[in-house]
Amino acid sequence: MTQAKPPQKPTASRRAVIAAGLGAAGAGALNLPREAPAQEKTPADAGTSSLTFSEVPHGLDNTHAVAPGHNLQILLRWGDAIVDGAPAWNVAAQSGAAQALQFGYDNDFIAFKPLPEGSNSSTHGLLCVNHESARNQLMFPGFTSRKVNDQTKELMDVEMAAHGHTIVEVELKDGLWAVVAKSGYNRRITASTEMDIAGPAMGHARMMTRDDPKGVLALGTLGNCAGGETPWGTVLTGEENFHYYFGGDPRSTKEAANHLLYGLGNDLFHGWHLHYARFSVAQEPHEPNRFGWVVEIDPYDPKARPAKRTALGRLKHEGAGCVLNADGRVVVYLGDDEYFQHVYKFVSRGTVDRSDRKRNWGLLDDGTLFAARFNDDQSVTWLPLVWGTGPLTAANGFANQADVLIDTRRAAALLGATAMDRPEDIEVNRVTNTVFVALTKNARRGDEKVDAANPRAKNRWGHIMEMVPADGDHAAATARWQILLLAGDPAEPGTKAQYHSGVSAAGWLTNPDNFTVDPKGRVWISTDGSNDFGFADGLWATDVVGQGRALTKAFFRCPIGGELTGPTFTPDGTTLFCSVQHPGDDGKSNFVDPVTRWPDFKEGVPPRPSLIAIRAQDGKPIG
C-alpha cells in the first residue's frame, strides 16, 4: 500500500472556530483475542495523537482484526436467546415466534444504560440494540437471491421478528461480559409491536388506516439504524429505509407525490406486502406515513409502550444526537440519510425535569423542528419548519403542522435547506460542546451543485462536518460549521482528501457512517463502503482538539462484507461495544456458498450479525 502524502493542514481560522466552541451466557463466554499486526508510525505523526494504540492495517479477509493489546468477545449473535424461555437457535427450523424471543438481525445502534438506574456503573447495565434489516439470501437455507416473489409467509414472519430492537441485561465478571438470562428487563421490540403515535401527527387523517381508524396506534418499527439517548435515560431509535418494505405502485394513490419522494416503488427487498395488507400501498396508502419517525423507548420500564415522536419529523432517520441545553431544554440533532437530503435539529418547548425522569416522557412531542442552511461563510442558519411560516402554507399543500411533519423533506426543500451528501449519524461531543455530522458520500453531485459544505463533485468517499453552536447555545438560531476531514486516500490527488499531515497508510478511511465519543472527547468513526475500495469497513478514531485533530487511526477491521455499527463506550471507557452487521454480504454471497462464516466458522452455519465487546488487556480505558 502506498504511504499517504501529507494533505493540507488545518488553517488558523478552523482552529479559531474550534477554540470558540470550547468556552447469552454461552455466546458471552467465547473470547476471540485475534490481533492484527501493528502498523508502523511515520515520523510525522509521532507524539501528535493522544491515541496510543498500534493501528490495524487495511485488509480484506473472512474474519476481524483488532488493535494489538485488546481482547474481543462475541457477546450476542443473531438468534441468541434474549427472553426467558426462548428456544435455542436452529437455522434449519426458524419461526417468527422463536425469532421474536431471540436476538434480531443486522444489529446496529447500541446504547449502554447502567444498572442500577441512575448509577454510573460500567460493569452492569442494559444493552439497547437496533436491528436494521434482514437479508434472506444469507438467513434461510436454499436461498440464493433476494427475489421477493419467493418469500413465503413463514419466512416473512421471521424477517419481521428479526427487525426492531433488543433490550438485554448484561454484567461484567472476570473480564468477560455475560447476558443475565432471566432478567425481567430483557425484551424484543419487532415490526409488529404496538407503539403510540405521539405529537402533532397523532390522529391526523393521513395517519389513519383500516386497522387504526383513529391514527394513534402503530404496529412495529423497522429500518432501525442509528439512534440516541435522552437526558432522562430513554433511548431513541431512528426508522430509516422504510421504503424497502412497501409493495405496489405508489402512483395509484393520493399519497403518490409523498411516497415517490421517499423512494417507494423503487427498491423492494421484502415480500411482506404479499402476506400482510398493511404493507401494500394500494390497500393501505397511509401505512407508509406511519414509518420514518424517531421512536422513544424506555429500557428501564418493560411495560412502557414505545412512542413514535412525530414532532421530530418524518425522514430516513439515521441518528438522533441529544444534548441538554444550558437553559434546560433538550435539543435533538437529526440527519436524513439519502443523497441531497438535509440536516435538522429539534428544540423542545419544555425543560427537563431532573427530579422525576418519568415526567419527561412526552417532552419530545412539543417543540420546533429546524432544517439547516449551511452558508458559504461557514455560518449555519436554522430554518423553522412551522406551519404558516414562509412557503409552509395551504397554498403549497400544507393544511396544518402535521402535514409539514409528514412531508418534512418537501418542507425543508421549500425553505431552502442545504442539500447534503447523505447525512447519516450526528453526535454531540459533550467535551467540546460541538456536533459532528457524518456525510457518507454522494457520487451523484455534479460540478454545478458543489458548494462550500459539500465541496467535491462525485463524492464517493464522504466527509465529516463539525458544527459549533452560537455561544454554546444549541437552541440558537445560528451556528458555525467547518469540515473536520475529507475522506478518501490522500495519496490519490483526485480524491482531494484532507486529514492531519501525519495520517498513515492505515489511517485514511472512506464513507464515514456512525460515531461515538469517548470520555476524553475523541471521536470514533465507523464506516460503510470501504469494501468498494478493496478493504474492509471498520472503526477509526481521532482527536478533535490539539495537535492530533483529524489524525485518524485504524482500530478495528470487519470481516468481508460486514459493516461496523453502533459503537459505544461504558462510562469509564474500559469497554467498547459495537456491532458487525451483514457479515459476508459482498453482493455475491448467499446461504449456500457464503464468502465467510464469521463468527462461528462452522459448516452449515451462515454468517451471523453479532454484537462484540472489546477491552484492553491491561484493563485500562480504550484508546
pLDDT tier for residue 19 given thresholds of 50, 70 and 90? very low
Residue 5's pLDDT is 31
DSSP 433-473: TEEEEEE--BTT--GGG--SSS--TTBSS-EEEEEEEGGG-
User: According to the model, what pLDDT value does residue 142 have?
Assistant: 80
DSSP reduced 3-state for 400: coil
**H and E: helices and strands count for the chain:** 8, 31
CA distances from 596 to 65, 191, 436, 493, 586 (A): 14, 28, 34, 34, 10
Per-residue pLDDT for 560 more than 70?
yes
Percent of the chain with pLDDT over 90: 88
> Which run of H or of E encompasses 579?
strand 575-581
Q: Which pLDDT value is given to residue 587?
A: 86
Give the chain's mean pLDDT: 92
* pLDDT (mean) for 361-374: 98
What pLDDT does 17 receive? Answer: 32
Which pLDDT belongs to residue 386?
A: 98
Cell numbers describing residue 544: 478533535
Percent of the chain with pLDDT over 70: 92
Confidence label for 11 from pLDDT (cuts 50, 70 and 90): very low
Confidence grade of residue 147 (pLDDT, cut at 50, 70, 90): confident
Sheet holding 367-374: strands in order across? 317-324, 329-336, 343-351, 367-374, 379-384, 478-486, 463-469, 434-439, 423-429
Q: Is the pLDDT of residue 2 over 70?
A: no
Interval 218-265: pLDDT, tens: 999 999 999 999 999 999 999 999 999 999 999 999 999 999 999 998
Q: Is the peptide bond before 116 cis (omega within 30 degrees of 0)?
A: yes
Handedness of CA 541, 547, 549, 553 (dihedral sign): negative
* Segment among 17-31, 86-100, 453-467 with least mean pLDDT: 17-31
| pLDDT tens string 186-211 | 999 999 999 999 999 999 999 999 99
Strand 329-336 relative to strand 343-351, pairing: antiparallel
**Rounded to the nearest 5°, which phi and psi values hold at 420?**
-110, 170
> Mean per-residue pLDDT for 313-331?
97
Confidence band for 69, pLDDT divided at 50, 70 and 90: very high
pTM of the model: 0.92
Instruction: Provide the grid cell at 560.
Output: 468481508
pLDDT at 47: 56
Q: Give the closest residue to 522 by CA, choosing from 621, 421, 379.
A: 621
Q: What is the mean pLDDT of residues 135-162?
A: 87
Query: Using CA atoms, how far apart are residues 282 and 253, in angstroms rounded to an integer?
Result: 7
Q: Which residue has the higher pLDDT, 4 or 132?
A: 132
C-alpha cell at position 220? 412495529
**59-78: average pLDDT:** 98
Mean pLDDT of 151-165: 95
Grid coordinates standing for 472? 454554546
DSSP β-bridge partners for residue 610 = 77, 580
Q: What is the pLDDT of residue 20?
A: 32
When pLDDT is averaged across residues 285-296 and rounded to a whole number, the result is 98
Helix (H) or strand (E) holding 138: helix 136-139
pLDDT at position 118, please?
A: 93
- Is residue 77 very low, low, confident or very high in pLDDT (cuts 50, 70, 90)? very high
3-state secondary structure of 554: strand
Tell whether the model's pLDDT for residue 121 goes beyond 80: yes
- CB contact at 8 A, 589 and 583: no
Does the pLDDT of residue 532 top 50, yes or no? yes
| Residue 36 banded pLDDT, cuts 50, 70, 90 | very low
Cell digits of residue 546: 490539539
Q: What is the reported pLDDT for 25?
A: 28
- Type and span of the H or E element at 219: strand 217-219
Q: Is the pLDDT of residue 285 over 50?
A: yes
Q: What is the mean pLDDT of residues 392-417?
A: 98
**Residues in CB range of 84: below 8 A, 6 or more apart:** 181, 182, 183, 186
